[in-house]
Amino acid sequence: MTYVPLTRRPVPAVINDRAVGRNQWGKRVLPGLLGEWGEDVRNIVHRHLGKVVAGAAIAVAGTAVMVGITLPGTAGADEAGGSQGASRAARSGQGQGQGQDQGQDQGQDQGQDQSLGAAVAPGVVKQPPVEGEKGKGRDPLTDDEIERVEKIAVNRQLFDTSEDVEGDRGPQTLTVDLADPEAAEVDNPDAPRRADVTFYDYRDDTLVTRTVDLDSGRVVRTDTQHGVQPPPSRAESVEAATLLIADPLGAGLEADYKDATGKELTSPDQLLVTGGVYRATPGAQPAVLDKCGEHRCVRLFPKVRNGPWIDARSLVIDLSARKVAELQL
């Protein structure tokens, strides 16, 4: 059997004044049927091919939709982020490379400039301005003013009738401060400068404050108080440490010092000492400390030089009675 393409139109023959043709099987057909049938075949094939292609496209689109639905929501973002991250990383790497190149170039340029320039001059520590003998207005007291008012405040009578922390004649100096102005002098920039000198007299446990006029060099006021205990001075803390080291109750302090340094503790100069005032509380301390508050009593906070602190809170030194007692903490 001979194959005849569907799209090939057979040559028609004229039979009985009518054009007839034959199909691929040799059958005669009416006029127009052959061409129409060929055209119909092509149309049918085209339509079927179109349906097949459209169906395939719909299937692919449906598959893509299903994949997009079933995949996690971040999958596409991760891929996009990955590509964007890769792009950023590439740009960052390029930027870092350029920055390194620029830094190297700048460093080389600076090194060349420094090598070509003169050597850097050494730093110079400037001394503070020379302090005058007298201050002005509310300026702090100068060293000369402090020394002068201490001598003015302690007259012969006070010196002969008072006693310091070591038992020597003369009161124990605690502080020297610029006195507050009088109420009428607050807004006066030219108000007279005065200094308050505070002493402690261990002979009768008295706090003495003398106000000295710096311009006239005279004592203008004297205040005396009992039972008032300001913080101890450095000299008082050192004397308290001396009494503690010499007392049997100081054995624990000496043992702690030896553990920390491997040396014997024989002098308060081996320690950094600060002190605080101790006041008696009824029934809270041994009877020997009942007068603390009226007496000058301190607790020490010793520290090994360049070393640890030593706990001595349970020990109280009565500087007025020159005795040491232990608290039951």
Given the structure tokens 């939709």, which residue do they identify? Answer: 65
270 CB-near residues (< 8 Å, 6+ apart): 257, 263, 304, 305
Segment (H or E) for 152: helix 143-153
Q: Which of 210, 227, 193, 228 is nearest to 159 (CA)?
A: 210
What is d(CA 284, CA 290) in angstroms, rounded to the nearest whole number?
9
Residue 10 corresponds to which tokens in the numbers above? 């057979």
Q: What is the DSSP secondary-structure string of 112-145?
A: HHHHHSPPPPPP-PPPPPPPPSS--TTPPPPHHH
Kindly report, residue by residue over 230-287, the tens digit of the pLDDT. 999 999 999 999 999 999 999 999 999 999 999 999 999 999 999 999 999 888 889 9
Q: Angle 77-82-85 (CA atoms, 0-180°, nearest 5)?
A: 115
Given the structure tokens 């194959």, which residue do they identify? Answer: 3
One-letter identity of residue 293: G
What is d(CA 297, CA 228) in angstroms, rounded to the nearest whole number?
12
Q: What are phi and psi of 168, to 5 degrees?
A: -85, 165
71 CB-near residues (< 8 Å, 6+ apart): none
Q: Which of 220, 180, 218, 222 is nearest to 201 (CA)?
A: 222
Between 1 and 132, whose confidence is greater? Answer: 132
Chain Cα centroid distance, residue 1: 101
**177 burial type by CB count under 10 A (0-12 exposed, 13-18 middle, 19+ buried):** middle
Kindly report, residue by residue over 168-213, the tens digit of the pLDDT. 999 999 999 999 988 888 888 778 899 999 999 999 999 999 999 9
Is residue 90 pLDDT above 70, yes or no? no
In the chain, how long is the greatest CA-to-CA distance? 172
Bridge partners (DSSP) listed for residue 325: 316
Q: Is 19:12 a contact under the CB 8 Å cutoff?
A: yes
**127 burial type by CB count under 10 A (0-12 exposed, 13-18 middle, 19+ buried):** exposed
Q: What are phi and psi of 153, to 5 degrees?
A: -70, -30
What is d(CA 73, CA 63) in angstroms, rounded to the nearest whole number?
17
Least confident of 76-85, 201-210, 284-293: 76-85
Q: Angle 237-243-246 (CA atoms, 0-180°, nearest 5)?
A: 140
What is d(CA 248, CA 1) in angstroms, rounded to the nearest whole number?
139
Kindly report, residue by residue over 15-61, the tens digit of the pLDDT. 444 444 555 555 555 444 444 444 455 555 556 566 666 677 677 66
| pLDDT value at residue 255 | 97
H-type helices in 164-320, by residue range? 234-246, 251-261
The pTM of this model reads 0.59
237 CB-near residues (< 8 Å, 6+ apart): 273, 274, 275, 298, 300
Kindly report, residue by residue over 99-151, the tens digit of the pLDDT. 445 555 555 555 554 544 557 777 777 776 665 667 777 889 999 999 999 99
